[in-house]
Structure 1
Amino acid sequence: MKTIASSITDLKPKKTLNMQYLAIVVVIGLICLTAWSVNHRFMSAINFLNLFQAIAVLGIVASGVGMLLIAGEIDISVGAQVSVIGVVMGMIIQRIGGTTGPSIMPALAPYAPLLAVVAALLSGVILGAINGITVVKTKAPSFIITLCFSFIYSGLALILTHMTYYYLGDKFTLLGRGYIFGLVPVSIPFLLLALLISFVVLRYTKYGRFLYAIGGNRKAAYVSGINTDATLIKAYIVVGLMNALAAMILVSRVAQAMYNTGDAYSLDALASIIVGG
């Protein structure tokens, strides 16, 4: 005997032409055609690579936020998360790597970038879990909860930096300033990977269909047997991991970590998801 939840799992996405997506493609095509008519260099491969490199951080953050919006939730703290994760990375690289003075742990100095990456991923998981657990346990609107955490994370970043910044030097440059074969920025494959993972999860996995079900009607999803709390907490953790990846690329690109490095990405990520449909 099948439950409603198992029936949801068995559902396959319909392979029909979505007119909304077609309209978006047409509009983008018209914009590109207009820009090309003004300046033929717009359609060059170099220009497109530069565009993708410029939106890499925003695209990665937005890919996580999109999952939450589908589930009927929101996270206003993503920008502050990027900032505080970047600060944690900068603090480790500067103090252990010794970018501005003697290392506090000379034996670990060569491994400072690796330690910073591990710390960033752990920070993303922790911050995402804190947001998710608080939202599902308090039953308060996620907008209010994550807005409060946004202030908390921003304050934490401010305390850790003492209103200044951490300098990374040339200790961590690959993700933000590196190139593959001297042509493709390293950040672009990470952007495409994040978008691909989000697409596959939402369209072809049981977890993705659970997110759609929760976003459609949370009570009905719960009654049908879906563990709504666990599903949402996982979604917030995914957002935290995406923010960690975005922070790595961002601090690597600018070679420093400030308390407000990622603040602009909260509204930009929401706007990009909403405008993109």
Structure 2
Amino acid sequence: MKFRLTFAILLLVFSHIFSQTKLFESIKNENSDSLKIIGMYYNWDQNKTYEKYNFYITDKKTIDSLINNTYYNGLTENISEQNNFSIIVTKNNQILDRWSVSPKFENINIKGKSHKFDISTLARLAEKFPFKYNWYKQEFKNRAEFEKFYSNKIKDKNTLFIYKPDFIYEGSFEIQFPKNETFLHPKAIDEYLRPKIEKIAKDEKFSIGYVLTEFNMKNRDQYTMTVSGSKNIFNKLKETQGKKGNWTPTKLEAQIFEKTEF
């Protein structure tokens, strides 16, 4: 009986050990001289719920130690909270990898699944490497203007990272279709529109989508589709079945994150 109990305890211990996985496996081969590991509350959380866990690490020895000794554990209930916490790894102020942590539920999101995570790790790092940050949005007239700004700003000592504007599409426009036997649902409209746009676009990227806007939700006798792509598509698409709206250029807006002094 004693042997069975001891064996069961050892099995439990080994099961716990082998369920551990290194968090920073994706960056283990990176030169840690230019890496930064950042922990920060989500910028949209106006209450700064988890600011107390913020940390900012550039020390090579500490980063090497974290890469070798930071683990997450087995799968847990797939649950999260709105105001999570981020662990971010950057190289030359560009994001290499990031993970979402829920201090409330003591888990970390790995490829869409929740895993058990020791939240005390955040507290220990925040105590030793505390920091505060600031973020803001900035709009640009064109890609060239942004690239000039970016090339200088990304080298700034206080820059954490920059979310670039979306350069995929020049802009978008809406087309309103009546709900009838021909256009029973958005899929039918997509099948009608796509071949027409493909002839115009050729190799240009575009997308067709139906968004549940307030207008679409309140007006169920129609479907307003959003087409994103080039101004060329907007100019050349002649539509008789639907009512084409105005052209809206894509807002070239970047988000800049900076370290601030206490």
Same fold per superposition (TM over 0.5): no
**Relative contact order (alpha carbons < 8 A, sep ≥ 6): 1 or 2 greater?**
1
Please classify the TM superposition score into its range, dividing by the shorter chain length.
Answer: under 0.3
Structure 1 or 2, whichever has the larger Rg, is 2
Structure with bigger helix share is 1
* TM-score normalised to structure 1 length: 0.19
* TM-score normalised to structure 2 length: 0.20
